[in-house]
Amino acid sequence: MLNLRAVSEAAAHPSGTRETSDETLMLAYAAGDVAAFEQLYARHRQRLYRFLLRELREPALADEIYQDIWQRVIAARASWQPDATFATWLYRIARNRLADHWRAARHRPPAPHDADARLARVPDDDTPERRLAAEQRSTGLQRALEALPPEQREVVLLRLEQELTLEEIGAVTGAGRETVKSRLRYAMDRLRAAMTP
């Protein structure tokens, strides 16, 4: 089946003058192009895993949920429609899966004593993540992030680590743009205050 969106994007950017969008890759994967899925996976695997590891603080659990999220992406490929960006859709799946986990667990476990060392072992080849990792190495930032209310921490992580827009964060969390903006502002104020000597 011919997809007009994918054709028009290919026509607008011939000969690879621009990286193929996530949405076009997902449509190609839905049509049976396994290489398109491999590209999507390569683009999003580290960011998604880092997000899960931050939220769960337990590598084995992050691995399990990470695999489950990608299985859900694979299972939903035939019915996927580009109503939102692929990243928004992917992180909505991740957020829903995390919510399922926390409902089942009924509590948020404390960070393991070696959480910083575990996080430091996660490979990081992407420049934005390297910049963020360098910032997070400063002594108090991790503690300040953990001290934020869950809604504020989630918005900060989605904005700074995943580089989602306010609208995309709203679509992931189900909150309005102004609510997301407010949570982000309060979170940043608290982080600045915590990091000020």
In the three-class reduction of DSSP (H, G, I as helix; E, B as strand; rest coil), residue 167 is classed as: helix
Other C-beta atoms lying within 10 Å of the C-beta of residue 4: 7
Other C-beta atoms lying within 10 Å of the C-beta of residue 55: 21
Predicted TM-score (pTM) above 0.85? no
Inter-residue contact 51 to 126 (CB < 8 Å): no
Inter-residue contact 91 to 51 (CB < 8 Å): yes
Distance separating alpha carbons of residues 42 and 24, to the nearest angstrom: 15
In the three-class reduction of DSSP (H, G, I as helix; E, B as strand; rest coil), residue 47 is classed as: helix
Q: What is the mean pLDDT of residues 72-100?
A: 91
Domains of the chain: 20-115 (1.10.1740.10), 124-197 (1.10.10.10)
Tokens 């028009």 map to which residue?
8
| Tens of pLDDT, residues 23-56 | 999 999 999 999 999 999 999 999 999 999 988 8
Distance separating alpha carbons of residues 30 and 36, to the nearest angstrom: 9
Task: Check residues 120 and 128 and name the one with the higher pLDDT.
Answer: 120
**Is the pLDDT assigned to residue 107 strictly greater than 80?**
no
